[in-house]
Structure 1
Amino acid sequence: MNLFISFDLVMLRTIYRHLFFLLLLFPVTQLSIHAQNLTGIWRGYFITNAGEKYKLEFQINGSSPNFSSGVSYSYLDVRFYGKATMTGSFTRDNKNLKIREIKTVEIKNMDGGGACIMNYDLFYEKSGKEEFLEGTFLGKPEVKGRPNPYSWGDCGGGKVYLRRVTTSDFYIEPFLRGKIKTTPVIINQPPIKKDTVKSKPTTPPVKKPVVNTKPVENKPIVKNNPPIVNKPKTDTTVTKINPPPIVKTNPPVIVPKPAVLKNRTNELMKSLIVTNRDIIVKLYDNGEIDDDTISVYLDNKLMLSSKRLSAAPLTIKFTIDEDDSDHELIMVAENLGRIPPNTSLMVVEAGEQRFEVRITSTEQKNAVVRFRYRKPD
Structure 2
Amino acid sequence: MRKGNYRHILICIAVCLIGNVFTARAQSVTGKWYGIGNPDIPGSSNSYLCEFIITQNGSNVTGYFNYFFRNGYFSNKLVGRYDASKRLLVLKPLPILYHLSANVGNGVDCIMTGVFKLKVAKVESTLSGEFLSDELHKYTSPPVKVNFRKLGKDEPELKERIKMKDLVLEEAPEVQTQAVPAQQTTAPAIVSTQPTTPLVLPSPTVKATEDAVKMRTNTYIRILDVVTDSVDVDLYDNGDFDADSISIFYNNKLIAHRQELSTRKPISLRVFVDSIEKHNDLLMFAENLGTIPPNSAIMIVKDGSNRYEIPLQSNYQKNGAVRLRKVQRTTLAGQ
Higher relative contact order (CA 8 A, sep 6+): 2
**Structure with greater proportional helix content:** 2
TM-score, scaled to structure 1: 0.35
TM-score, scaled to structure 2: 0.39
